[in-house]
Structure 1
């Protein structure tokens, strides 16, 4: 597969709709690409027409409007800029909630955090391999959103048309995420809206509040890092949340709950025939322990290239024997130095792709 350079889009508009319009215009081609990808994926999973799928997304719009009307307005702007219907762009921002199917348990992501007391240079590091359908590799964008009243400047790596996903901001807040699967889905706020609010936070406590005090629709682990030297895993389901702090200065998470739920079941171990989540978690934990006090960007990058038990490894490659809905690969590998405001990333598999860096002048 030919991997194209990722699009970088700078957005400095104060008005939500105008910011969305500029985003939609700049990302129009990639938005068209990713809508075509999801049209195919949704149909293969559900058998529905696109219009039927869009109808299932409508109840989430009301929840999103109540939570963040400015972000819904931004989505309207994205739709206008991309010359698409509002419902199309909203679907991109609620794809996990609308797509939810307990029979489809794709492995998605390995995340790592290292506190300053265990890193080689005293830096706060946050990292992720984002594993998803291979067709989305060339549908990613980098958004650089300027400072607005009460909200710090931020950088986020996300799918074209989405509000935010992985990233960091000028206040020192960083975010990586893991998909989880529980048996208690409900109509609530899509998790993409929460990632944007986390990256708009000026304080760690504020970011926690957005996650813990919101009626969530989907099960996600939010691993939040803070440049001042802290990190926290927020394991969430629609009905419960777990606040997990680092152990020995390190957080590692994959796609199963580390703490058992009281009000839900973790479907990952029950229905996944190849639960690589446990192996990936073990390999990342072991790799971090072996680095001890010498943890740095390169060391974490090497962990993210691990191929133990390929294709069920930390660095995920296509498995020809897998079912179509399990054809997952590493689409992005990223290490963020929150202390130095640096981002190191590779589009696609980190063992093959070219490593790039961003120096932020915040």
Structure 2
């Protein structure tokens, strides 16, 4: 099983968006419908979702007009309204506005081995199982000669990815007391601008600091020689460097001491701490130069062990059914993503998709 791929030929934002929307019309509409169902189960009325989507689009347009143009193009190609595509891009902000929470979520590992060896990265991407058909791989060229490849959801401008500047990003959701129901710049747009514009961790952090946000996330930026987890919240942005030995781990709780005071996710769903401890205990495997070995080092199932590899309980409502939908590594020297559809328990050497 592999994820669908799309390679843009258009370079102007609105035209690029329309091209994507036209070719992925069915998938984008289905993704919007899936999020509409998720927000309804979590307690949001359709009119409120539309208002949040429109506000997120306005905030995103003020911060990055060209990305708002791309969203408008996607909508035109997919036969949707711009606010509907904005809802897909602002799903983190809408979930924060609803104050939704769940047990699942992602685990990320980056190891910088030094001595000229490339970074060893891997993450799990957990999300709701009724949205398992949403992911896609997208290649685009935001400016001449600068190629971006991203694992994202149909209609979303970016998520996990790598750029021709030699910078890659991993992506985990966070929750903070300062998160609000007043949507700001969508964090998925921040990830996209980092991939489009940044060549260093410092530049990535500066882009994050320039956005006024309403929801929290962590974007782990990696280059050939450096890495940092950029924790983003309405209360501020913190940059977490690797530990001694070049080890940088992140799950779904804040590591910055000041921001951790306002931690929300882990206070209600402490499994993130158990997952983090599992990563710590398996650093040797996570530092291996073989991606399959790194993925297997992540393998752990709840409830008896850390729930790094998630499988949904069909008896739960859709907002509480979590599944590890992808396992992903960054191949920085090649400028490629390596993606497995599913969790670490299903990874073999033959199941990697190189993009």
Same fold by TM-score, threshold 0.5 exceeded?
yes
For residues 25 and 106 of structure 1, the distance between their equivalents in structure 2, rounded to whole angstroms, comes to 35
Q: Does 1:127 align with 2:122?
A: yes
Q: Does 1:110 align with 2:107?
A: yes
Aligned to 2:57: 61
Aligned to 1:327: 321
Change (3 A) 1:285 1:311: closer
Aligned to 1:286: 281
For residues 15 and 226 of structure 2, the distance between their equivalents in structure 1, rounded to whole angstroms, comes to 35
For residues 246 and 356 of structure 1, the distance between their equivalents in structure 2, rounded to whole angstroms, comes to 27
| Unmatched runs of 5 consecutive residues or more in structure 1 | none
Change (3 A) 1:5 1:292: closer
Aligned to 1:148: 143
Q: What is the CA-CA distance between 1:319 and the residue it aligns to?
A: 3.1
- 1:241-320 correspondence runs (5 A): 241-247=237-243, 248-261=245-258, 265-272=262-269, 275-288=270-283, 290-291=284-285, 294-307=288-301, 309=303, 313-320=307-314
Secondary structure of 1:223 counterpart: strand
**C-alpha contact (below 8 Å) 1:219/1:236 kept by paired residues:** yes
Aligned to 1:189: 185
**C-alpha contact (below 8 Å) 2:172/2:218 kept by paired residues:** yes
Aligned to 1:138: 133
**C-alpha contact (below 8 Å) 2:216/2:232 kept by paired residues:** yes
Aligned to 1:163: 157
For residues 310 and 326 of structure 1, the distance between their equivalents in structure 2, rounded to whole angstroms, comes to 19
For residues 56 and 217 of structure 1, the distance between their equivalents in structure 2, rounded to whole angstroms, comes to 11
Aligned to 2:166: 172
Of 66, 72, 94, which aligns to 1:98?
94
Aligned to 2:342: 348
Q: What is the CA-CA distance between 1:56 and the residue it aligns to?
A: 2.5
Change (3 A) 1:340 1:320: same
For residues 287 and 17 of structure 2, the distance between their equivalents in structure 1, rounded to whole angstroms, comes to 43
**TM-score, length basis structure 1:** 0.89
For residues 351 and 263 of structure 1, the distance between their equivalents in structure 2, rounded to whole angstroms, comes to 31
Of 9, 13, 36, which aligns to 1:12?
9
Q: Deviations over 1:264-306 (max 9, x none)?
A: 610123223xx21011111112111x34864432221112333
**C-alpha contact (below 8 Å) 2:168/2:332 kept by paired residues:** yes
Aligned length: 348
Q: What is the CA-CA distance between 1:308 and the residue it aligns to?
A: 5.9
